[in-house]
Amino acid sequence: FEGYYQWFYEGRNGWWQYDDRTSSEIEAAFKKGEQQCEVLIAGFLYIIDFQKNLQIRRCDPYRKRRIKRDLVTIPKKGVAGIRHV
């Protein structure tokens, strides 16, 4: 079942789930066995590096976050910066 796994990026003391569109793009590249892919998030291009498990802002590579593919049910802060209520 495709929805069972989701992609997460790291925030302060916790993980955020990617928005569904971005998560689908990342999942498609991951399933193809690509080493990395690029996604557009809030007007910025980010590289998703599957070997280092990092999200890196393309024009400012110091902006890095850890990422992971994990069960949709893990504890998380929310989705794409929208906190759970």
Question: For binding to ligand V3L (CB under 6 A), which residues are involved?
Answer: 9, 11-12, 16, 18, 41-42, 55, 57, 63, 65, 77, 80-81
Of the two residues 6 and 55, which places its CB atom closer to ligand V3L in the complex? 55
In the bound state, the residue with its beta carbon closest to ligand V3L is: 11
The strand pairing partners of 84, in sequence order, are: none
* Closest separation in Å from C-beta 41 to ligand V3L: 5
Residues ≥6 apart with Cβ < 8 Å to 80: 16, 17, 18, 19, 22
